[in-house]
Structure 1
């Protein structure tokens, strides 16, 4: 339901992310299952034991490399999703801007209030000093 309200490009991008996720996880699972199958008991084959061991070792290395590639692809996918959210999450950005704006306005109001209080105190002190000066006998 929520995806129907998304623009076409966002929906396509989310489907792409979902497809990448499923493909990478499937690749990791399939390769891991095949590695486990290679750890089977000895089977009768026409290949010599050494040749079979070398072949199994090579296949395990290739499958392990495929698992690593799928893991790196998943990490890249997570990075892409984070970047997408950071760049396109306007609601959160607007909330942060509004919160900062309110904070700065309240700070400005507090500074203005303190400056006005300081001005009033200085005006009263100046008035007292002027009164003392003009009424002084040492003038």
Structure 2
């Protein structure tokens, strides 16, 4: 059936890509899911084909009861295969939902880390500017207090 590269929950978000181990696990899971789909659909088609072939009406009553039992058995197998496909769809939905939350959480963690680094850089810059301002203020105070203008202005009132 579908053996192409259709991704099952493998879309990468806006953040960094998955690690190699996560990518390998996702590829393995996709392969297993595709095998399940192929098996279940194959079972549905085979059992349906058998049901169509058995539905011929025959005269002997024993033959009809045997065929009826075979039809019931094949119909039950079709129901099992359809149920398996429904469970697979449910699993895919859950995977899509939870992998969406996981990638969202990864993106939030990445952004938090980026903002923490920016905050550290900003704090370092503020500390450096504060030290430069303190040194400049000390130098200006020393020039002011040693200035002749300051002493001459104070003595004249």
TM-score, normalising length: structure 1:
0.56
Question: Counterpart in 2 of 1:77?
Answer: 88
Runs of 5+ in structure 1 lacking a partner?
Answer: 43-47, 98-139
Match for 2:51 among 32, 35, 47? 35
Give the C-alpha shift of residue 21 in structure 1. 0.5
State TM-score, norm by structure 2: 0.50
1:87 aligns with 2:90: no
| 1:50 and 2:50 correspond | no
Regions of 4+ moved over 3 Å = 90-94
- Uncovered stretches (5+) of structure 2, i.e. residues with no partner: 11-19, 109-157
How many angstroms apart in 2 are the aligned matches of 1:90 and 1:17?
A: 21
8 Å CA contact 2:57, 2:64 repeated in 1: no
User: How many corresponding residue pairs?
Assistant: 89
Offset at residue 50 of structure 1 (A): 1.3
SS in 2 for 1:40: coil
Distance in 1 (CA, whole Å) between partners of 2:48 and 2:104 is 42
